[in-house]
Amino acid sequence: MDIFQVFNDRRSIRKYKETQVEAVKIEQILNAARLAPSWKNMQCWRFLVINDQEKKTALLQAFPEENPGSRAIATAPVIIVVCADPSESGVENGIEYFIADTAIAFEHLCLAAHALGLGSCWMGWFDEAAIRTALAIPENIRVVGITPLGYPDQEPKARPRKSLSDITFYNRWEKL
Ligand SMILES: Cc1cc2nc3c(=O)[nH]c(=O)nc-3n(C[C@H](O)[C@H](O)[C@H](O)COP(=O)(O)O)c2cc1C
């Protein structure tokens, strides 16, 4: 699939079919994440792949009911918990780059999933301490985001985006 078509057609998917995801596709998706750029190429990201129903149910407790994606945590065939070890990244100008490193890898993962006909949804609204307890994730590791992964059972419309002219400036910080 053409990369611009992938950008254009990817959606946050919150409803999944029960169909299992092939192990080879999961590996392809994780490999796409692994190829992301990172601070000094330190690759601080870690991926915890969950397909055990008991663990998924335990994870669900960490999501507020109002989170529109929380049902997908219980129902998607696979959940990927995207983590980072901040000691394998840097801080500059007050920016903690483990978040940027891991976010890039996470988006590679989401785009690769879409290119393979799978859905994902970056989820950030959860209780990190509860996730850590549910999955026995060490204290030094941060949970940057979580995504369900599976075959989409919905075709959401594109959500609106700001226009290029609202977010882009040429040569100076000023609208023409
Ligand atoms: C950092 C981040 C956190 C997000 N957290 C959640 C979440 O907790 N629950 C959810 O349902 N969607 C979450 N989303 C998905 C956004 O709502 C979604 O990307 C946005 O509405 C645009 O829709 P689209 O992804 O289909 O283009 C999150 C997205 C990002 C990038």
Res 167 pLDDT > 90? yes
147 CA to centre of ligand 1 in angstroms: 10
Predicted pLDDT of residue 58: 92
35 CA to centre of ligand 1 in angstroms: 23
Mean pLDDT rounded to a whole number for the chain: 96
Res 166 pLDDT > 90? yes
Atom of ligand 1 nearest to the CA of 11: 26
* 47 Cβ below 6 A of ligand 1: no
* 125 Cβ below 6 A of ligand 1: yes
* 122 Cβ below 6 A of ligand 1: yes
Res 57 pLDDT > 80? yes
The 10s digit of each residue's pLDDT in 3-30 is 999 999 999 999 999 999 999 999 999 9
DSSP per-residue letters across the chain = --HHHHHHH--B---B-SPPPPHHHHHHHHHHHHTS--GGG---EEEEEE--HHHHHHHHTTS-TT-TTHHHHHHSSEEEEEEE-GGGS-EETTEEHHHHHHHHHHHHHHHHHHHTT-EE--B--S-HHHHHHHHT--TT-EEEEEEEEE-BS--PPPPP---HHHH--SSSSS--
86 CA to centre of ligand 1 in angstroms: 23
Res 49 pLDDT > 80? yes
124 CA to centre of ligand 1 in angstroms: 8
What is the rounded CA–CA span in Å between residue 173 and residue 176?
10
Predicted pLDDT of residue 176: 60
What is the rounded CA–CA span in Å between residue 131 and residue 105?
20
* 79 Cβ below 6 A of ligand 1: no
> How large a percentage of the chain has pLDDT more than 90?
97
The 10s digit of each residue's pLDDT in 109-134 is 999 999 999 999 999 999 999 999 99
Q: Which domains does the chain have, with CATH numbers?
A: 3-91+104-137 (3.40.109.10)
Predicted pLDDT of residue 1: 82
The overall pTM is greater than 0.85: yes
Mean pLDDT computed over 146-152 = 98
The 10s digit of each residue's pLDDT in 76-117 is 999 999 999 999 999 999 999 999 999 999 999 999 999 999
Residue nearest to ligand 1 atom 30, measured at CA:
122
